[in-house]
A and B are shown apart, each in its own frame.
Chain A
């Protein structure tokens, strides 16, 4: 597939204007780490903004970074680490800032750090027909018109190409520790009840991983409370999170989301290779390619009021689009020629 790689904002806008005029369908890509999230798109070429990769502004005392979309998350993290700060998304190697925002790929630590959509304060977008649009503001609070940053977060490149974002940062935790223990969802629930303020509680079929981050004395206190709640606790200091990744190596990986209390019902339909964020309601499950496993898991997620999009391998998003007429009008307004990843979005928009 052809790859269009504009070297500037002006070139990006020109490329989109030309593609709209010619009806040339484009798949916006960043680091290509989240491309499996989405239904199959019918496109003629890919478009990448990895050349737009500057850190535009970072005043450490503001806890805000303004970043071009093509910047790699790892590069941003390195720059922020020098100031004891982070944009907490824990993206895979190679992922770009714009790609993570477009895919709304939240951190597994979201119990504490929140979903990625809460961290995008301002967005600069080039629409399908090449118009440059800005929404939001470079302040931590802002109510001025419609929240375009939230509209764009998770839009999977179907409304426009993200050129730049302003991100709300967090202080980097002073201490980080994972506790591993035997037991599945029940042990995880016991830990969630006993330990205040964890960063994540991850349960698998037979193990549990409790993530603790913050002041060293609090992490020590939390560790003691965890030991009182479950037996066989093993401590991993300064390890990456998560260390339990049972879905790894499976051809299809689903990232299901259900109301948190319904996880036990969801995992009944998730096979053996699953890991669930207790207290959040996210569950990753590794599935075989083909067969009925995906359909069964999707049906269960649907019954429980959730969704089960595939994030690796084939299978697309599933789910039912609410307010389809509103969605269609938004798509029409931002991408009037319908050239941006047609078919990729929920409802095959």
Chain B
């Protein structure tokens, strides 16, 4: 399928007065069909952004239905030297799928088959466009789950989960997406198809699978994912503890982890979060609390009972005013509905929000939260806190109205300070959203030049032509040895082409 036919179907000579985009579009339509290629201004504008605050622009949008069509997309892109931006559902918050320049956006949502579920091997092969929740609904009757459960799981795709190494509340005990991806089928920018990782517990070679997970579409296009399936736990207990201060709730988190208990999930929500969630979800959260902790323990019945009792003890020792335990599945679902609907519910405060994602050491939660509060207050902003406390994964949510002049500038200034205090506390830039465009230029705060150069070499090993999702993840200065000399001029030009206001 690949190279021979590919070179026949691609026009390499351009007649005068026909644009590269028109030629690429014609080639793509020939292979994918006219309804699978979008080139009109409205369609291109729709795919010019993802769920972040950043806006970009693209030349063409393609909707391949299978691996061969993805190969064709990459061959066309190579033939006309178009950058390629892979995209799933577009729920990413860091701008990883926001196209820059005259890119070809390759949307994998039409590749949405669950290829096979093999219970005996506790694995499933799925196409990248399968939605996280759809897969989990297929698995539940089998007593199995794909453990990563990002808040976006109703709409985010497995391909996108792989791209961002997605997390979610239950990653605390079950681990991030990378722990649950056994193998990926990847179309390299050259058009070559490789399978990285294995259905077996070990695979030959370097862990290239591990590099692809979290690579934000910069190493190739994933066309199939082999996910690890986890048995649903035999016993689950869900607790909700109310506190008179955020600091007490945070101290409880530190105490629980330090006690040798790893709950399945441990989520903290502050009073502003409770105030928007409760009217919306009627989750039963105490509306007079300054903070609540939603804690879930699962596993075998004995340990679950013992750990739930110990967590209640630790919460009370840290001045919890109330601790309730879900009596049944319905109440458990209600408690979780509160947490999972929180992001939507904040729209009642202000029309826009900027959701942060940083990680801090779990023993320093209270201290960092106080600093974040201080920053937000100093910039005259409002922050809502609801986050994966057990992992130290902060998500301060700045809510604002960008229609009010000067607001956005204050949001961005505060955001920058928030990231810095988290890094100063020994944290990391992102826990689950990724770097994308949003945090690209903050990477030097977390890494030395040599570290970033090594990352750039890693990227170039997959994509020597630098076609995949250019200008994402690594800042312009991070160049791998000799590659720098040939490409630095082009990169400067590309940066100069960044659309006005693309940081908004």
Contacts from A to B (Cβ < 8 Å):
59-64, 84-85, 104, 106, 110, 114-115, 117-118, 127, 131-135, 137-148, 150-151, 153-155, 159, 170-172, 196-197, 214-218, 220-222, 255, 257-261, 279-282, 304-307, 309, 317, 319-323, 326-327, 329-330, 333-334, 345-347
Is A317's CB under 8 angstroms from B204's CB?
yes
- What 10 pairs between A and B have smallest CB-CB spacing? A150-B210, A217-B302, A61-B258, A137-B428, A319-B204, A333-B457, A171-B260, A329-B461, A261-B120, A218-B300
In the complex, residue of chain A having the shortest beta-carbon distance to the beta carbon of B358: A139
How far, in whole Å, are A322 and B192 apart by their CA atoms in the complex? 11
Instruction: Given contacts A104-B207, A196-B231, A197-B299, list 19 more A-B pairs with CB under 8 A.
Output: A61-B362, A114-B179, A118-B178, A133-B451, A139-B431, A143-B176, A143-B214, A143-B432, A144-B429, A144-B435, A145-B447, A145-B474, A147-B213, A148-B458, A215-B300, A259-B200, A321-B205, A323-B208, A329-B457
Is A62's CB under 8 angstroms from B213's CB?
no
Does B122 interact with chain A (Cβ within 8 Å)? Answer: yes
In the assembled complex, 10 residue pairs joining A and B whose CB atoms fall closer than 8 Å, in A order, are A62-B362, A144-B447, A145-B474, A146-B459, A148-B454, A153-B210, A218-B299, A307-B198, A319-B205, A321-B204
Is A334's CB under 8 angstroms from B208's CB?
no
Asked if A60 meets B258 with Cβ closer than 8 Å, knowing A139-B361, A257-B200, A323-B196, the reply is yes
Which of B54-62, B164-172, B321-329, B495-503 participates in binding chain A? B164-172
The answer, among B164, B300, B443, B458, for a CB contact under 8 Å with A214, is B300
Does B40 interact with chain A (Cβ within 8 Å)? Answer: no
With both chains docked as a complex, state the minimum distance between the C-beta of A111 and any C-beta of chain B, in angstroms: 10
Does B45 interact with chain A (Cβ within 8 Å)? Answer: no
The answer, among B165, B206, B254, for a CB contact under 8 Å with A61, is B254
Is A329's CB under 8 angstroms from B460's CB?
yes
Is A139's CB under 8 angstroms from B201's CB?
no
Interface string of B169-193 (1 = CB under 8 A from A): 0010001101100000000100010
Is B200's CB under 8 angstroms from A141's CB?
no
With both chains docked as a complex, state the minimum distance between the C-beta of B305 and any C-beta of chain A, in angstroms: 8
Segment 420-470 of B: residues with Cβ below 8 Å from A: 426-435, 439, 443, 446-448, 450-452, 454-455, 457-462, 464
Does B132 interact with chain A (Cβ within 8 Å)? Answer: no
With both chains docked as a complex, state the minimum distance between the C-beta of B438 and any C-beta of chain A, in angstroms: 12
Interface string of B220-257 (1 = CB under 8 A from A): 00000000000101100000000000000000001101
With both chains docked as a complex, state the minimum distance between the C-beta of A171 and any C-beta of chain B, in angstroms: 4
Residues of B contacting A323 in the complex (Cβ-Cβ under 8 angstroms): 188, 192, 194, 196, 205, 208
The answer, among B254, B260, B301, for a CB contact under 8 Å with A84, is B260
Residues of B contacting A261 in the complex (Cβ-Cβ under 8 angstroms): 118, 120-121
The answer, among A85, A127, A155, A279, for a CB contact under 8 Å with B206, is A155
How far, in whole Å, are A279 and B68 apart by their CA atoms in the complex? 34
Residues of B contacting A170 in the complex (Cβ-Cβ under 8 angstroms): 262
In the complex, residue of chain A having the shortest beta-carbon distance to the beta carbon of B459: A146
Is B118's CB under 8 angstroms from A327's CB?
no
How far, in whole Å, are A104 and B201 apart by their CA atoms in the complex? 11
Asked if A146 meets B435 with Cβ closer than 8 Å, knowing A118-B179, A257-B200, the reply is no
Is B427's CB under 8 angstroms from A139's CB?
yes
The answer, among A215, A280, A321, A330, for a CB contact under 8 Å with B458, is A330
Is B215's CB under 8 angstroms from A146's CB?
yes
Asked if A133 meets B454 with Cβ closer than 8 Å, knowing A144-B435, A321-B205, the reply is yes
Does B283 interact with chain A (Cβ within 8 Å)? Answer: no
Most buried by B among A62, A319, A326: A326
Asked if A85 meets B260 with Cβ closer than 8 Å, knowing A137-B446, A141-B167, the reply is yes
Asked if A61 meets B260 with Cβ closer than 8 Å, knowing A141-B171, A197-B234, A258-B200, the reply is no
The answer, among A64, A138, A280, for a CB contact under 8 Å with B201, is A280
Does B102 interact with chain A (Cβ within 8 Å)? Answer: no
With both chains docked as a complex, state the minimum distance between the C-beta of A160 and any C-beta of chain B, in angstroms: 9
Does B35 interact with chain A (Cβ within 8 Å)? Answer: no
On chain B, which size bracket covers the interface?
35 or more
Is A333's CB under 8 angstroms from B206's CB?
no
Does B477 interact with chain A (Cβ within 8 Å)? Answer: no
How far, in whole Å, are A138 and B427 apart by their CA atoms in the complex? 7
How far, in whole Å, are A154 and B202 apart by their CA atoms in the complex? 10
Is A333's CB under 8 angstroms from B201's CB?
no
How far, in whole Å, are A347 and B206 apart by their CA atoms in the complex? 11
With both chains docked as a complex, state the minimum distance between the C-beta of A75 and any C-beta of chain B, in angstroms: 21
How far, in whole Å, are A317 and B199 apart by their CA atoms in the complex? 18
Is A62's CB under 8 angstroms from B361's CB?
yes
In the complex, residue of chain A having the shortest beta-carbon distance to the beta carbon of B195: A322
The answer, among B194, B214, B234, B255, for a CB contact under 8 Å with A146, is B214
How far, in whole Å, are A280 and B254 apart by their CA atoms in the complex? 33
The answer, among A84, A147, A159, A214, for a CB contact under 8 Å with B178, is A147
The answer, among A154, A280, A334, for a CB contact under 8 Å with B457, is A334
Asked if A282 meets B201 with Cβ closer than 8 Å, knowing A141-B171, A151-B211, A333-B458, the reply is yes
Residues of B contacting A347 in the complex (Cβ-Cβ under 8 angstroms): 204-205
Residues of B contacting A62 in the complex (Cβ-Cβ under 8 angstroms): 257, 361-363
Residues of A contacting B473 in the complex (Cβ-Cβ under 8 angstroms): 145
Is B359's CB under 8 angstroms from A139's CB?
yes
The answer, among A114, A141, A145, for a CB contact under 8 Å with B455, is A145
Residues of B contacting A127 in the complex (Cβ-Cβ under 8 angstroms): 454
Residues of B contacting A144 in the complex (Cβ-Cβ under 8 angstroms): 428-430, 435, 439, 443, 446-447
With both chains docked as a complex, state the minimum distance between the C-beta of A13 and any C-beta of chain B, in angstroms: 11
Asked if A330 meets B461 with Cβ closer than 8 Å, knowing A141-B431, A143-B431, the reply is yes
Is A346's CB under 8 angstroms from B204's CB?
yes
Asked if A59 meets B455 with Cβ closer than 8 Å, knowing A196-B234, A215-B300, A327-B205, the reply is no
With both chains docked as a complex, state the minimum distance between the C-beta of B317 and any C-beta of chain A, in angstroms: 15
Asked if A154 meets B206 with Cβ closer than 8 Å, knowing A60-B258, A333-B458, the reply is yes
The answer, among B123, B164, B458, for a CB contact under 8 Å with A143, is B164
Does B349 interact with chain A (Cβ within 8 Å)? Answer: no
Is A143's CB under 8 angstroms from B258's CB?
no
Residues of B contacting A118 in the complex (Cβ-Cβ under 8 angstroms): 175, 178-179
Asked if A333 meets B460 with Cβ closer than 8 Å, knowing A134-B448, A138-B361, A319-B204, the reply is yes
How far, in whole Å, are A104 and B454 apart by their CA atoms in the complex? 21
In the complex, residue of chain A having the shortest beta-carbon distance to the beta carbon of B175: A118
Segment 274-321 of B: residues with Cβ below 8 Å from A: 299-303, 306
Does B91 interact with chain A (Cβ within 8 Å)? Answer: no
In the complex, residue of chain B having the shortest beta-carbon distance to the beta carbon of A330: B461
Does B203 interact with chain A (Cβ within 8 Å)? Answer: yes
Most buried by A among B175, B194, B199: B199
Is A147's CB under 8 angstroms from B121's CB?
no
How far, in whole Å, are A117 and B462 apart by their CA atoms in the complex? 21
The answer, among A61, A141, A217, A330, for a CB contact under 8 Å with B306, is A217
In the complex, residue of chain B having the shortest beta-carbon distance to the beta carbon of A196: B234
Does B406 interact with chain A (Cβ within 8 Å)? Answer: no
In the complex, residue of chain B having the shortest beta-carbon distance to the beta carbon of A215: B303
With both chains docked as a complex, state the minimum distance between the C-beta of A7 and any C-beta of chain B, in angstroms: 22
How far, in whole Å, are A73 and B304 apart by their CA atoms in the complex? 31
Is B210's CB under 8 angstroms from A104's CB?
no
Is A138's CB under 8 angstroms from B426's CB?
yes
Does B360 interact with chain A (Cβ within 8 Å)? Answer: yes
Does B403 interact with chain A (Cβ within 8 Å)? Answer: no
Does B481 interact with chain A (Cβ within 8 Å)? Answer: yes
Does B393 interact with chain A (Cβ within 8 Å)? Answer: yes
Is A333's CB under 8 angstroms from B428's CB?
no
How far, in whole Å, are A147 and B234 apart by their CA atoms in the complex? 33
Segment 370-407 of B: residues with Cβ below 8 Å from A: 388, 391-393
In the complex, residue of chain A having the shortest beta-carbon distance to the beta carbon of B122: A260
How far, in whole Å, are A154 and B211 apart by their CA atoms in the complex? 13
Does B261 interact with chain A (Cβ within 8 Å)? Answer: yes
